Amino acid sequence: MQNQEKDIIRYFEQMDRSYFVDENKELASLDRPISIGYGQTISQPTLVLKMTLELDLFPQSSVLEIGTGSGFQTALLAAFSDTVYTVERIKALHEWAKGKLHESAFTNIHLKRGNGSLGWKENAPYDRIMVTAAASEVPAQLLEQLKNGGKMIIPIGSPHSQDLTLIEKNEQGEVTSTFIMPVVFVGLVDSED
């Protein structure tokens, strides 16, 4: 498996976060979370990078992302994997990200509007799953849609503080979870807007 870490860091450093936000463009270069409207936020860039590196992408990976938001994280995932499937519950954000990602000429991103807690069954199983909203526990369907040998990054905890958690499923289908760091994400909401 090819380790893409250096290339990911290099690519990330030249990404323009302001392109993915409508307001607060002047704040986009700072290492802080920014609002993307509808009560949602993009995490600070160092956390987006950290989560991406922890996911251990490889060029052939099929990735499921839950919480498309602005599309910023989606673009980074897509640059280092084969295909990204991304699900967003808020229609306006789904449309926004679709426009931005198509404009940036990505051809390996598939976007859907819906409840990401259910995953995206049609394209499962996935090598990698990234959840960018907080859950009280790992949604069963996401775990089911993760390949043996696969990895998932997900913030698990209460609405106000979570443990960023790496879930790994080994070749026998056994699941382990590793604490990475404390984080605060907006909640994974179990319905469409």
CA distance 13 to 22: 21
Site for ligand SAH in 20-59 (CB under 6 A): 36, 40-42
**Catalytic annotation, residues:** 43
Place of tokens 């979870």: 177
Place of tokens 């789904």: 94
Residue number, 101 or 188, with CB nearest to ligand SAH = 188
Would you list the DSSP string of 175-188? Answer: EEEEEEEEE--PBP
**Among 72, 80, 85, 96, interactor with ligand SAH by CB under 6 A:** 72
Number of residues lying near ligand SAH (CB under 6 A): 24
- The packing angle between helices 72-79 and 45-55, to 10°, is 40
- Residue 120 interacting with ligand SAH (CB under 6 A): no
- Please identify, among the stretches 101-109, 113-121, 151-159, 170-178, the one whose residues bind ligand SAH according to the rule CB under 6 A: 113-121
Residue number, 29 or 170, with CB nearest to ligand SAH = 29
The first and second tokens of residue 124, run together, are 């499962």
- Residue 12 interacting with ligand SAH (CB under 6 A): no
Check: CB of residue 65 under 8 Å from CB of residue 132.
yes
CA distance 99 to 187: 24
- Please identify, among the stretches 24-32, 53-61, 63-71, 166-174, the one whose residues bind ligand SAH according to the rule CB under 6 A: 63-71
- Residue 155 interacting with ligand SAH (CB under 6 A): no
Residue number, 114 or 125, with CB nearest to ligand SAH = 114
CA distance 87 to 94: 8
Other Cβ atoms less than 10 A from the Cβ of 26: the count is 9
- Residue 134 interacting with ligand SAH (CB under 6 A): no
- Residue numbers at the binding site for ligand SAH (CB under 6 A): 36, 40-42, 66-67, 69-70, 72-73, 87-90, 93, 115-117, 132-133, 186, 188-190
